[in-house]
Amino acid sequence: MIRIAPDIRDALAAGRGVVALETTLVAHGFPPGEGVRVGLESEAAVRAGGAIPATIGILDGEIVVGLTEDELGRFDVSARKLGPRDLAACLVQGAVGATTVGGTLAVCRATGIQFMATGGLGGVHRGWPTPPDVSADLDVIAQTHALIVSSGVKSLLDVPATSELLETLGIPVLGWRTDTMPLFYSANGGPKVSARVETAAEAAAIAKSHWQLGGGGVVVGRPPDESLDDVEPLIQEALAKADGDGIHGQAVTPYVLSYLHRESGGRTLAANRELIVGNARLAGEIAAA
Exposure string for 80-117, b = 16+ CB within 10 A, e = fewer: bbbbbebbeebbeeebbbbbbbbbbbbbbbebebbbbb
**Where in the sequence numbering do the catalytic residues fall?**
22, 154
CA torsion sign, 168 to 170 to 173 to 179?
positive
Write phi, then psi, for 169 (nearest 5 degrees): -85, 0
CB of 194 closer than 8 Å to CB of 172: yes
Greatest extent of the chain over all pairs of C-alpha atoms, in Å? 52
d(CA 183, CA 283): 18
d(CA 139, CA 143): 6
